[in-house]
Chain A
Amino acid sequence: MTLDPLTLVVFAPLFGAMAAFVAPRAAAAIGLATMALTGAAVAWLATEVHAAGAVRTPLGGWEPPLGIALRADGLSVAMLVLTTGVGLLVSLGALDSFKGTANARLQQYFWPLWLLLLTGMNGVYLSTDIFNLYVMIEVIALAAVGLTVLSGTRAALRAGLEYMYASILGALLFLLGVGFVYLQIGQLDFAGLIGAEPSAAMSTALALMVVGLLLKTALFPLHFWLPSAHANATAPASALLSGLVVKAALYIFLRLTTYMPLPDEILVALIGALGAGAVLWGGVQALRAERLKMLVAWSTVVQIGLIFIAFARAGQVGLTESWKAAALLILAHGAAKAAMFLSAGRIKDEIGHDIIRDLDRTPVRPTLAQFTFALAAISLIGLPPSLGFIGKWSLMEGAMAAGYWHWVAVTMVGTLMSVGYFSRVMAGFLRFDRVRAPVAEHQGWALADLPPLVLALGAIGLGLAAAPILSFIELGYPFGMTP
């Protein structure tokens, strides 16, 4: 078998995970080396896709429907770049935050779990059949639940258990859908899905898979497991879970609804309505949150909702364009939310707590982490020139052009609410009259502040590169019906 980037992207992290599990002392070194190798493979793949449009390889030379094929186009490479880029920076942040003997166990399990997670996600972005997707989301679920409970606190264990139930249920629904498809058309690859005759059985299959995916990506009202799971994990795990993991199910949703179109305009509107529910309900909860990490987690619920509104922004006819707005928001949220969770973790480490009400009572002001938090908030609120702004612009532009003013209105209300909840935090950073002790300058600056800062600057700066990003994700016509 000749070496090709597609295979390497999936298998490098898999072997890395095994090696890190077997040799826990060298886990960090193995982890970083694996990240570097995977990153190089993704870069290689990106140049190939840039040159050829789409790249495809049948594993072991077996063509579907018998074998498994991996395929990369612009969108999947963009997701891979997001995953490895954010993953690498989060890993670097993790190196510092897991320092010390007390964290030896964290260190030991973090790397194998994270590399396994990376395997699953990379697999999702390159898969071309739905059974393979099912396997990959199970791999992701296994690793993600492990990362959630890594901190070992009681709250994390409880949240992790809830997360696991939700994940298993979601995967089960997805598997049921896969079974229906197999019974109906005897094929599981995307090409088979496209060629399938519409039927009640296929519609049922789609419904089952979509509900399973919505549960996994935590779209309102199936978000119940997300806030406590993301808020109680350790900061690097939260960053990975919120920034990357929920995106895998979202990505599958985008692909599936293209190959098996939603049969009805009403369903598109329903998806958008659920998104609106997420934006409003998540916003209210974030306004009420008492802890910083909980607020950040609720903001993820809001952002997921926003991405689904972007999907539905111009109804069924608009779907051929709307996925781009959704993809921009996915990328923006990935970078910004990882930055925000990492900086929130840094703030918590320095201050010793993350109770929003008391942020202004402490003389300890980790200004660099606070600055990073603010930058991430700029992208999440959607202020220019961040990538979040570009995503929101695309959403509103499409909705306006199609005359769907209700999506514009919901987005604006959501934006205002996000200003409200993030400024609760920011006011705490900037208020000084409740502190008795003198406030020192430039305190709490550490190397661990750098990865989130780079991520946050990336979330803002990538807005300027939106045009090349957009033309890249269209390479290979991800939604041109030729997988």
Chain B
Amino acid sequence: MTLLSADMPLLPLFILLTSLLASPVLFALPESAARLRTGINLGMAALKVALVAWLSWKVSQGVIYDLSFTMLPGLEFKLQADPLAILFIALSAILWLITTVYSVGYLERGPHRARFFGFFSLCVAATVGIAMAGNLFTFLIFYELLTLATYPLVIHRGSAEALRAGRIYLIYTLVGGLVLLLGTLGLWVLAGTTDFVPGGVLGAVANDQRLAAQLLFVVLVGALGVKAALVPFHAWLPIAMVAPAPVSALLHAVAVVKAGAFGIMRVVYEVFGIETAQVLGLTAPLAALAAVTILYGSLRAITQDDIKKRLAYSTVSQVSYITLGVALASPIAAVGALAHLIHQGLMKITMFMAAGNLAEGLGVKKVSAMDGVGRAMPGTMLAFSLAALAMIGLPPLAGFVSKWYLAQGALDAGAAWVIALLLGSSLLNAVYFLPMLHRAWFRDGSDTPETPGRPRIGWWLAGPPITTALLVLVVGSFANAPFSPLEWTRFVVSIEYLE
């Protein structure tokens, strides 16, 4: 790969600023300025997608973007657009645009919209910052910003239940953030740098101070595991589903849990380096933890009657596929893990938006009340069904592709037990998703009372899940096309496993 200098070196900063600068403007707009707000929201989101597309093109051509300035002696605030960052930015930019459309439809008549969209923008800015952080110190800054920006979204309804959920969310994530601060400091003291470098920076330290390095790994992965909802730090996620549907969609697909999973990736690949992590004997326990989380989340999902809770436990399970793929320490599994970062986002956002539509359009919030909803809302439920089948792993949908690579990677790494795990997990996915589909399509809903006078949901609500469902189909079917998530993932893995 030839290194080219960037002709527009500030591009990453501009991408960050699209949402960061939109936020104060949105805060200051009066509630009644709905059109202007929608215009700013969609305009900025579209601008960001365009900028990210440009950035991706440049990075694929081998251009290196790297901006930094010194915050403390030796310690830099650093943004860099490497291929791994692009993967996450692209996901967040596209899904932000779609979720913004959905949020406008979902909330435009509700209270506190100025506040909502202000924090919403801030949340996306934090996600982009997490993606582009060039060292753990910068990552920490945006990681904390993400916590602060999502808290008001989680408690948006302002009810006692929402506040309770918010408090639990805040306790988990801020304690996690504090532990991450400790880990970052530890890394700084041990290695003298917090930079993300393919191959890691702790090789020498791991030889001299094995125990300290192991401890650091536990601290960092534990801290990130809170947001990634690894068992036993997952409890906040099902509780936080009290948030409005677009927030849940974003939380589960892009922002919070993905920030944790993405952080684990950075730590394993670029702080420790996969070889060092293996030498320290840390990848196997991490894989085991991920496996436990996968099974536990699926098992708990089966018994949930609340749709959003079932989806939340499913997220606990699905996000750990990413951690599992990282921990297997095989390049092929890594491809699966990275692809799943994108695929899971698309699938889960579809399902949460569909669940929001059921609640908005039909007042259906429980699985047991889903009888016949397919006929009442065919578009939404088709999207939901497609995403559910993809989650289960039906070819040629997106979920199949990631599971396929994970399974191959497991064979490559000599961990045959993972095949059994994947099969078992797929079976469990089927156990909790298929009854929902069965109710929706094959049961008669005549005995569920229709709520009269409820407005039909418009295209603002129906369009986004259908769009993402189509994406689920496309990225699965055309997984080998250039610029597909899978192809980009191969590009990333070729860099991370270069050493």
Contact = CB atoms under 8 A, between A and B. Distances in A.
Interface of A: 367, 371, 378, 383-385, 390, 393-394, 396-397, 400-401, 408, 412, 415-416, 419, 423, 427, 430-433, 439, 441-442, 463-464, 466-467, 470
A367 B114 CA distance: 11
B289 interface: no
A384 B144 contact: yes
Interface string B144-157: 11001000100100
A390 B70 CA distance: 12
Interface in B131-183: 140-141, 144-145, 148, 152, 155, 158-160, 163, 166-167, 170, 174-175, 177-178, 181-182
Contact of B167 (A394, A416, A427): A427
Given A430-B163, A433-B159, A464 B188 contact: no
A396 B184 CA distance: 11
A466 B174 contact: no
A384 B189 contact: no
A379 B163 CA distance: 23
A441 B114 contact: yes
Nearest to B118: A371
Given A383-B148, A396-B185, A433-B160, A470 B31 contact: no
A384 B188 CA distance: 16
Interface stretch (B71-79, B337-345, B351-359, B387-395): B71-79
B123 to A, nearest CB: 15
Contact of B31 (A383, A390, A441): A441
Given A383-B144, A383-B148, A397-B188, A432 B170 contact: no
Contacts of B182: 396, 408, 412
Contacts of A408: 182, 185
A386 to B, nearest CB: 10
A260 to B, nearest CB: 29
B141 A384 contact: yes
Contacts of A423: 167, 170
B72 A394 contact: yes
Given A416-B175, A441-B31, A464-B77, A400 B189 contact: yes
B30 interface: yes
B363 interface: no
B178 A467 contact: no
Given A400-B189, A441-B114, A467-B71, A385 B178 contact: no
Contact of B140 (A384, A394, A433, A439): A384
Contacts of A385: 71, 77, 141
A400 B114 CA distance: 43
Given A423-B170, A467-B71, A467-B73, A397 B148 contact: no
Nearest to B164: A427
Contacts of B69: 464, 467
Given A383-B144, A427-B163, 9 more contacts: A384-B140, A385-B71, A390-B71, A397-B188, A427-B166, A442-B30, A463-B71, A466-B72, A467-B71
Given A383-B148, A467-B72, A467-B73, A431 B186 contact: no
A350 B177 CA distance: 34
B111 interface: yes
B70 A467 contact: yes
Contacts of A397: 185, 188-189
A318 to B, nearest CB: 14
A396 B141 CA distance: 16
Contacts of B140: 384
Among A383, A427, A466, chain B packs the most CB atoms within 10 A around the CB of A383
B142 to A, nearest CB: 8
Contacts of A419: 170, 174
Contacts of A439: 111
Interface in B120-138: none
